[in-house]
Amino acid sequence: MTSRFSLRQFKWKYGTHEKCLEAIKKLKYPDDMDCPSCKRLSVFYPVTGRTSFACKFCGYQIYPLAGTIFEKSTTPLDLWFFAMYLIVQTRSGISAKQLERLLGVTYKTAWRMFKQIRTLMVQEPSLLDGIVEIDETYIGGKGKNRAYEWHGGVEEKEIVMGIVKRKGTAFAKRIPNTGKWTLINQIKQNVDPKAHIMTDELGSYKNLYEHGFDKHYTVNHSNKEYVRQHLFHTNSVENLWSHLKRGIYGVYRKVSKKYLQAYIDEYTWRYNNRLYLGLMFERLLKQVAEVKAIQPVLVK
């Protein structure tokens, strides 16, 4: 898990459109499979000039790109793969403008590629167990902290809730407010009732025991208490916020409310795969066969 995936290794493995197409075909279909047409166990060979593979017996064709983020794209697959490589290899992310320069495509194309690749990073819901840390943070706006009073003409910050299993995976989601029911509903959906929950002393968390979470511990940040007995703290989720904010403010500068969740998913995915250094690209590539592409909305 600690080995690196260098650019030289990437180019050797995925340096051409044909190699990338073959890789996607292997993700979706076995080397030998029953042909849907002639019903014989067959090998499918690439068709020259097309993104399909044909049965060696009857010529029936399969299309590995169908239903993926690459479907209907005229951009060569090697550029798509290189964009994915750059996104996972950079610790703080990379902007669509930088992709435009590196890939030699238009900004519109680079932005669309980025948008589709981020769909591969969407978090799958799961119950986090063990020691679970929960916190909220504020992104955007001009206020320095949540105590700032916003008035007319000043953009408000967006609220993001984070749930992190200590030494494990994380879940983060944009939420409308920090009210009791908003936070508790997210905890019910994403935390195992047997988990040991660590939070700060926000009032919304006070009655977690009434909802089946009886192992709840707090640290008092207002009194500058950040760690108690080397066990009670929320430093793991604070680490997630550090990566998220440094990436957004340092690379993207500003993100819109509409796409904020996509950026959150990107950095959370990167955090969840932080131990897979040389395998991050392969893990992202596997998602191609499982995630449907975003279809454009037709306006009549």
- What pLDDT is recorded for position 42? 94
- What pLDDT is recorded for position 297? 41
Global pTM value: 0.87
Mean pLDDT (the chain) is 89
Report the CATH number of the 131-254 domain.
3.30.420.10
pLDDT tens digits, residue range 28-62?
998 899 999 999 999 999 999 999 999 999 999 99
SS (H, E, C) the chain: CCCCCCHHHHHHHHCCHHHHHHHHHHHHCCCEEECCCCCCEEEEEECCCCCCEEECCCCCEECCCCCCCCCCCCCCHHHHHHHHHHHHHCCCCCCHHHHHHHHCCCHHHHHHHHHHHHHCCCCCCCCECCEEEEEEEEECCCCCCCCCCCCCCCCCCEEEEEEEECCCCEEEEEECCCCHHHHHHHHHHHECCCCEEEECCCHHHCCHHHHCCCCEEECCHHHCCCCECCCECCHHHHHHHHHHHHHHHHHHCCCCCCCHHHHHHHHHHHHHCHHHHHHHHHHHHHHHHCCCCCCCCCCC
- What pLDDT is recorded for position 142? 60
In the predicted structure, residue 152 carries a pLDDT above the cut 50: no
Q: Residue 260: which pLDDT band, with cuts at 50, 70 and 90?
A: very high
